[in-house]
Structure 1
Amino acid sequence: MKSIFLFLTILLFSFTSYAQNQRDSLNKVVHERIKDINQDEIDNPYYTKQEIEDEYVAENNIFQSLSKPNENSDLSNYFKIYLEKGLLRKIDFSEIKSSPYYSHISNKVYNHTIRLTFEINKKNKATNFRLNTGNKELDKEVIRLFKKYPLEKLSLGENAKTGKISLQLFARENKTTIIKASEFAVVDQLPILKGCENTQYNWELNKCLYDQLFKYILANISLKTISEQDLKGEIHIRPRFSIDATGKIFKANSIAPNKIIKDEIDRIILSYDQVLIPGKRNNIPKITYCDTYRLFVIQDIK
């Protein structure tokens, strides 16, 4: 009887090391994968439309109460000085609203605010920026200006290094876009799993979380179940699950080639009990949604 050998192939892409034709090929692969991801969401949504909207409203209410955005915050005054006022007209909320992230949010509850998120690197500098104003050139200009803003003014604690930092910058009120930036930063930290205790930065914690979980999946997956599916070659899976405020995993709803493999992945994830510390927002435990992609390569060994 043939046995099955499973191993994880980790692909690290460096765009700077590719020739133009290689970059074009990689871009095509990425676009195809994004298309597949969007289709996966449609075929097997993790949340219902109502749950997505309820979570959106609740998250925004908490964010607003913690960050306290106002037109006279130090960050607001900084952008009023250095960001050309006319550039605010380039902010395109219709473009933002049409993105997949907001596709299930009704116009009634959509809040018309724009956040900047970033992380802290080993040199204690802001990095890995995420911003969507609906205009890419404006995104670049806002990030360029923010890089010159003294981070010490945000009074970030040590927890910021292992978290994703978010700040509101702009809002639309009475049909006018204004600078209304956060007075305080909001820091979201991922759950800490056994084996990840010594991570010092957010990207390290993110990698460790999913690597540890996938090692557990590989160690506990039923080879008999996989072999009975008669699948060979590359098998993509998308583990999706939540970790509650006590550190317990619940609501696993992964995406896999078929329901049998999906149920097997979900079974293993729900049995994982090595979460040491739950995710936190400004040091307050919270529910964390986790979502990753992994690749099995299944081969016969004769």
Structure 2
Amino acid sequence: MKSTVLFIAISLISLNSYSQTEKDSLTKIVRERIKNIKDSQSENPYYSKEEAQEDYTNEVGTFQALAQPAEDSDLANYFKIYLEKKLLKKIDFSAIKWSSFYKHLSNNKYNYTIRLTFELSKTGKATNCRINTGNKDVDRKVIEVFKKYPLEKLGLKESDKSGKISVQLFAKEDKDVLIKASKFAVVDEAPVIKGCEDLQFYWQVNKCLYEQLNEYIVQHISLKTLNSQELRGEIILRYRFTINETGKITKVNSIAPNKIIKDEIDRLIMSFNAITAPGKRNNIPKTTYCETYRTITIENLK
């Protein structure tokens, strides 16, 4: 009886080692492949509509209580000086509302506010800034203005380098877009994995989580299960799971080429027990939704 030996390689969808032209091409390919996964798995949502709305409402409530956004906050007054008022008219809440992240929310549940997220660099400056105003030109200008704001006024500390930081900047009230900005920053920390405790920055901690998980999956995945499916070549997997307030993995619901591979990936994620601390928001333990895409290449060794 002829035996088959499988070779499996797993990798992050990463563009760091490519030229800009290659990055643009690969990014397009990856986006198309990820879209195909989402489209083909629309019958397998992570949250039901009701669960998504409840989770969203709870998150918004927590954020608002911590950030305390106001039209007369120091950050709001700063933007009123340095951001041209005419740009507010270009903010398109309809484009934001119908993005993939919010499109399943009913209008009466949707919170018409816009946040900017960023991380702290080694020198304490804002880096990796992201915002969605529905207009890319406005996005760029807002980030440019924000990077000149003195971050110490947001109550940030040296230890916040390990978090992803969010501030509200805009709100829509009575059909008008206002500068209604946070008084305080909200800092979200990623769950910590054994061996990653001494990492200083958010991106390092987050990357370490997924790298450790993938290494675990490669080491423990059932070759017999893979071989029985006769899958060869490169396949994309979408890992989806939650780490609750106690650091336990729950609600695993990955996406794979078929149910047998999905069940195997889900089994491995559920058995991954290297988490030493849950995610936190302003130093209070919280539930963290985790998601990543990975490619596995399966080949026969002869």
Q: Is the 8 A contact 2:114 2:169 kept in 1?
A: yes
Which residue pairs with 1:167 in the alignment?
A: 167
Cα gap change, 1:218 to 1:30, in 2 (>3 Å): closer
Cα deviation code 1:173-222 (max 9, x no counterpart) = 12211110000000011100111111111111111000001111111111
The AA in structure 2 aligned to 1:137 is: D
Shift of 1:143: 0.5
Distance in 2 (CA, whole Å) between partners of 1:71 and 1:141 is 20
Q: Secondary structure at the match of 1:100?
A: coil
Cα deviation code 1:138-167 (max 9, x no counterpart) = 111110000100111112123321111000
Aligned pairs (5 A) from 1:13-28: 13-14=15-16, 17-19=19-21, 22=22, 25-28=25-28
Whether 2:49 is the aligned partner of 1:75: answer no
Give the TM-score normalised by the residue count of structure 1: 0.95
Which residue pairs with 1:265 in the alignment?
A: 265
Aligned pairs (5 A) from 1:119-138: 119-138=119-138
Cα deviation code 1:82-134 (max 9, x no counterpart) = 11112111111111111111111110111110000011122321111110111
Two-structure CA RMSD over aligned residues (Å): 1.6
Aligned pairs (5 A) from 1:98-109: 98-109=98-109
Aligned pairs (5 A) from 1:84-103: 84-103=84-103
Cα gap change, 1:162 to 1:179, in 2 (>3 Å): same
Shift of 1:16: 7.4
Q: Secondary structure at the match of 1:238?
A: strand
Whether 2:60 is the aligned partner of 1:51: answer no
Which residue pairs with 2:202 in the alignment?
A: 202
Q: Is the 8 A contact 2:96 2:134 kept in 1?
A: yes
Which residue pairs with 2:4 in the alignment?
A: 2
Q: Secondary structure at the match of 1:42?
A: coil
Distance in 1 (CA, whole Å) between partners of 2:6 and 2:30 is 29
Q: Is the 8 A contact 1:40 1:255 kept in 2?
A: no
Distance in 2 (CA, whole Å) between partners of 1:6 and 1:242 is 26
Shift of 1:26: 2.6
Cα gap change, 1:233 to 1:60, in 2 (>3 Å): same
**Total equivalences in the alignment:** 300
Shift of 1:37: 4.3
Cα gap change, 1:251 to 1:151, in 2 (>3 Å): same
Aligned pairs (5 A) from 1:236-275: 236-275=236-275
Shift of 1:14: 4.5
Which residue pairs with 1:61 in the alignment?
A: 61
Distance in 2 (CA, whole Å) between partners of 1:251 and 1:42 is 17
The AA in structure 2 aligned to 1:277 is: A
Aligned pairs (5 A) from 1:219-298: 219-298=219-298
Identity %: 58
Distance in 1 (CA, whole Å) between partners of 2:204 and 2:37 is 24
Q: Is the 8 A contact 2:15 2:23 kept in 1?
A: no
Shift of 1:35: 2.0
Cα gap change, 1:38 to 1:119, in 2 (>3 Å): same
Distance in 1 (CA, whole Å) between partners of 2:37 and 2:234 is 16
Q: Secondary structure at the match of 2:7?
A: strand
Shift of 1:36: 1.9
Distance in 2 (CA, whole Å) between partners of 1:39 and 1:100 is 12
Aligned pairs (5 A) from 1:140-219: 140-219=140-219
